Structure 1
Amino acid sequence: MKHILGGLLALACVATPWSAAGVREAPGDLQSCVVTATGPGDRRTLVQWMFSAIALHPDLEDLARVSDARREQANRAMGELMVRLLTVDCADQARQAFRDGSADAAIGEAFGRIGQMAGEGLFAEPRVAAEAQGLIRHVDMNRLVELFLP
């Protein structure tokens, strides 16, 4: 389970689905179930958990401060979400993945996908999207155009 949690953070942070070549997919499609069972509030929980963990990275420490109490709250909420998704909402699919020996891959893919969805939601927020476009002010377009000239 520790391996799954570590993988979950890594998968969520890169916000791309994980593919395990050669690993059998769990019948019942755990990923599909987790995606369907995850609502906007759940994605908010996931994003807050991701941010609280990422804020500890040395390259980001001066950009964001998350109190230990708030980080613990995010950890607790994410733990509860993970347990609910795997033991209530998608229990049959999770059980099947464990039986098939594909639990690591199936859980990684499922939580990687909702991590991707959460990341997409972050950048869809108008203020975040507008600020992300702010980098254009600092791009030397003439230098980029030179790439396409003969």
Structure 2
Amino acid sequence: MIRLFTAMTALVLVTTPAAAQTNSGIDALRACVVNSTNEEDSVVTARWLFIAMSRHPSLPQSVRVGDREGLDANRQMGALVNRILFDTCADETRAAIAASGSETTFQTAFGTLGEEAMGDLMTNPDVMASIVQLGAYLDANRLATLVAAPK
């Protein structure tokens, strides 16, 4: 039970939610992004997110990535976003903007990219082995009580 709880918690913590709004334009864009990306695109997205987050001043210097790697990640992510928004999913992007506006459309596109990237990376056995280690620090008795509590 601890292992399952830990894995579910990690998925929730690292997944970037796509825009909550639902309509046919947004749904079509979300589907296009999912169908137009692959594991390599997920790695590009995750690398870009990791490098961007590594810039946060609260994180130790040891996790920061150099400017050169940051520029490379930005170039790769820019190419991916250009491909999706302007080529592969251009019709869906235009329809979503017309139906929901540009902010919701871009939140949906980026959120879906983030969800796909994290979903792909979380299935890696090395990543899951690292995440499952959190279970050693959870209070198993309190978790069991919480799960068994009547509704």
Structure 2 regions of 5+ residues with no counterpart? 1-13
Structure 1 regions of 5+ residues with no counterpart? 1-12
The 5-angstrom pairing of residues 68-107 of structure 1 reads 68-100=67-99, 102-107=101-106
TM-score (ref. length: structure 1): 0.76
Q: Quick check: 2:97–2:105 contact (8 Å CA) kept in 1?
A: no
SS across alignment from 2:51: helix
Name the CA shift for 1:144/1:31 in 2 (closer, same or farther; >3 Å).
closer
| Distance in 1 of aligned mates of 2:142 and 2:121 | 30
Name the CA shift for 1:86/1:125 in 2 (closer, same or farther; >3 Å).
same
Residue 20 of structure 1 corresponds to: 21
| Distance in 1 of aligned mates of 2:43 and 2:15 | 17
Q: Quick check: 2:29–2:92 contact (8 Å CA) kept in 1?
A: yes
Aligned residues: 136
TM-score (ref. length: structure 2): 0.76
Letter in 1 for 2:45: L
Q: How far did 1:16 drift? A: 1.5
Q: CA RMSD in A?
A: 2.6
Letter in 1 for 2:56: H
Residue 35 of structure 1 corresponds to: 34
The structure with the largest helix share of the pair is 2
| Distance in 1 of aligned mates of 2:56 and 2:113 | 22
Alignment identity in percent? 32
Residue 108 of structure 1 corresponds to: 107
Residue 121 of structure 1 corresponds to: 120
Structure 1 runs (4+) greater than 6 angstroms displaced: none
Q: How far did 1:53 drift? A: 0.3
Letter in 1 for 2:30: Q
| Distance in 2 of aligned mates of 1:132 and 1:59 | 21
| Distance in 1 of aligned mates of 2:143 and 2:33 | 42
Q: Quick check: 2:33–2:109 contact (8 Å CA) kept in 1?
A: yes
Q: Quick check: 1:48–1:74 contact (8 Å CA) kept in 2?
A: yes
The 5-angstrom pairing of residues 127-138 of structure 1 reads 127-138=126-137
SS across alignment from 2:65: coil
Residue 4 of structure 1 corresponds to: none
Letter in 1 for 2:16: A
| Distance in 2 of aligned mates of 1:97 and 1:54 | 28
